[in-house]
Amino acid sequence: GAGVSQTPSNKVTEKGKYVELRCDPISGHTALYWYRQSLGQGPEFLIYFQGTGAADDSGLPNDRFFAVRPEGSVSTLKIQRTERGDSAVYLCASSSTWNSPLHFGNGTRLTVT
Amino acid sequence: DQQVKQNSPSLSVQEGRISILNCDYTNSMFDYFLWYKKYPAEGPTFLISISSIKDKNEDGRFTVFLNKSAKHLSLHIVPSQPGDSAVYFCAASGRNTGNQFYFGTGTSLTVIP
């Protein structure tokens, strides 16, 4: 079946603007994760959803970052007042159950100019 | 605080020989370990996993070894093939460590034909 789909694949925005990044997980996967990967680093955890609720948002760096998953499927990561330090690849992953392997999308490369 | 460490940023191996990628962790509560492979402009792809009740798991050319007392795991690829050239990430999680997977910084493997 289809894998995890992330749109857009690339996003360039100006400092201070608002962006939304979308993730469409594998059908039937209840667990959804957002990670951020900066150059030369491994993926860093941002937020985890089990169903519709954010079960763990401890990785969100500050209150400019917010994510939703209103119907327990598609998720949107929202970043307000973007800063140049937000530039990174934002990865979404889903899994069938908690603590089973994550299946990643190809990511959205965000560049803040 | 890097809980999962990959101390070798890069590794070059001749085709047909064994590739050994290493990973160390600090959190004794981790009980599930995974290896991911990443090609440029793609998301990480799950390769192989091991739970802490085992010390070895094998899948074709890929074998993961876990040494709990040393808090060390390794991925062996034999024989190595040029298509194995990619960045490899190890990751870990635990039932008592929250809902996130912790990733290392990756090792870039180059298999020379």
User: CA A16, A20, A23 angle in degrees (round to 5)?
Assistant: 150
Chain B interface test: which of A102, A106, A108, A109 (most B C-beta within 10 Å): A102
Q: Which of B6, B32, B41 is closest, CB to CB, to A106?
A: B41
For residue range B81-112, list pLDDT tens digits in order: 999 999 999 999 987 777 789 999 999 999 99
For residue range A51-78, list pLDDT tens digits in order: 888 778 999 999 999 999 998 899 999 9
Contacts of B4 in chain A (CB under 8 A): 42
Asked whether the beta carbons of residue A43 and residue B32 sit closer than 8 angstroms, the reply is: no
Report the pLDDT value the prediction gives residue A1, as an integer from 0 to 100: 54
Mean pLDDT of chain B: 95
Instruction: Identify any residues that bridge with A54 across adjacent strands, giving them in sequence order.
Output: A49
- Asked if B50 contacts B64 with a C-beta cutoff of 8 angstroms, the reply is yes
For residue range A9-48, list pLDDT tens digits in order: 999 999 999 999 999 999 989 999 999 999 989 999 999 9
* 3-state secondary structure at position A56: strand
